[in-house]
Amino acid sequence: MNTEILSGKGLAGLIRQRAGEEARLLDAAGVRPSLAVVVATADESTLWYVRSIERAAERAGIDCRILDLGQDATEQVLARVLTDLGSEPSVHGIILQTPLPEGVRGENLVGLIAPEKDIDGANPLSLGRLAVGQPAFAPATARSVVEILDHFEVPTAGRDVVVVGRSAVVGKPLSLLLLAKDATVTICHSRTGSLEPFTRSADVVVVAAGRTGLLTGSHVSEKTVVVDVGTNVLPDGSLVGDVDEASVTGVAAALTPVPGGVGSVTTALLLLHTVEAARQQSGVLGLSLAAGVA
């Protein structure tokens, strides 16, 4: 079996291009799309990731403000900053970057992100709206999986899709998006027991557990399309997903790589969500952003 590698790079480029075009149209109408990223950590890899969002935003013509509150920021300070950004008309998108300082309860803060600016779908209201089919920003990672499947013309309607992971930022919203695309969705998690009976018979398996080597060749069949959401940093500093690439390659039909798969599309979608939010908030008419980009 020749396992097709589904790179996210081409799609990410298309989405960035789309975001850039929309940003230019908005700019011409007097609206400069703007994203605020609230950071409270000294973690180097997080800071690197945030700077990569900043660079990508600027290249797309989106203003990006990094509000670095430091690793000692309190919940009260973070709450005030998020509330202030919510009422700041020049800011269209808000991201609260994790990890947060010890003792800060992120679950108390995400609800303070103004829903119309919640471009990474962190506010529970956004998840609730997704659940009942109302317009909302999905977490960019969850949408990224769906965009990749669409881009590579992997059918989901009436197909069996297994999502491994049930977090509020990836597994749950992704399951809702797939359900909306008429997939038959099974959610597996840390208490599932053996994954094999679920994953082997599935058409699509999405792994979002944060466990190196969780999905191996014995978990898949020749029809399985595998999407690897996991990002795990090995002791040598290299980045790997949740899939044991060596054993899955040659068995599964297709696989997204890590890096260069879901992650690259996710960053591009944050930009697209920001221009969508800017357009909605500014009421600029005459632009059309289709829901899908693939």
Minimum CB separation of residue 233 from ligand NAD in Å reads 9
Is residue 200 close enough to count as binding ligand NAD by CB under 6 A?
no
Identify the residue whose tokens are 């998840």. Answer: 127
72 class by beta-carbon count within 10 Å (0-12 exposed, 13-18 middle, 19+ buried): exposed
Minimum CB separation of residue 66 from ligand NAD in Å reads 18
Distances (CA, A) of 93 to 50, 97, 116, 119, 265: 14, 13, 8, 6, 18
- Please identify, using beta-carbon distances, which residue of 95 and 164 lies nearer to ligand NAD: 164
Is residue 38 close enough to count as binding ligand NAD by CB under 6 A?
no
Identify the residue whose tokens are 């999502």. Answer: 163
Minimum CB separation of residue 43 from ligand NAD in Å reads 13
Residue from 46, 83, 192, 247 in contact with ligand NAD (CB under 6 A): 192
Is residue 211 close enough to count as binding ligand NAD by CB under 6 A?
yes
- Please identify, using beta-carbon distances, which residue of 218 and 280 lies nearer to ligand NAD: 218
Residue from 149, 230, 252, 256 in contact with ligand NAD (CB under 6 A): 230
Residue from 3, 41, 97, 141 in contact with ligand NAD (CB under 6 A): 141
Taking residues 158 to 177 in sequence order and writing x for each that binds ligand NAD by CB under 6 A, - otherwise, the string is ------xxxx-xxx------
The CA distance from 243 to 231, in Å, is: 10
Q: Is 12 helix (H, G, I), strand (E, B) or coil?
A: helix
Tokens of 288: 């059309």
Name the E strands within the chain: 4-5, 34-39, 63-68, 93-96, 160-164, 184-188, 204-207, 225-228, 232-233, 239-240, 254-255
The CA distance from 265 to 141, in Å, is: 8
Is residue 266 close enough to count as binding ligand NAD by CB under 6 A?
yes
Distances (CA, A) of 22 to 11, 12, 42, 241, 262: 17, 15, 33, 32, 23
Choose the stretch contacting ligand NAD; rule: CB under 6 A; options: 48-56, 66-74, 80-88, 224-232: 224-232
How many residues belong to the site for ligand NAD (CB under 6 A)?
A: 24
Choose the stretch contacting ligand NAD; rule: CB under 6 A; options: 7-15, 26-34, 80-88, 230-238: 230-238
Q: Are strands 160-164 and 204-207 parallel, antiparallel or unpaired?
A: parallel
Minimum CB separation of residue 177 from ligand NAD in Å reads 14
Is residue 97 close enough to count as binding ligand NAD by CB under 6 A?
no
- Looking at 211-261, list the stretches that DSSP marks H as alpha helix, in order from N- to C-terminal side: 245-248
Residues that bind ligand NAD (CB under 6 A): 141, 164-167, 169-171, 188-190, 192, 208-211, 214, 229-232, 262-263, 266
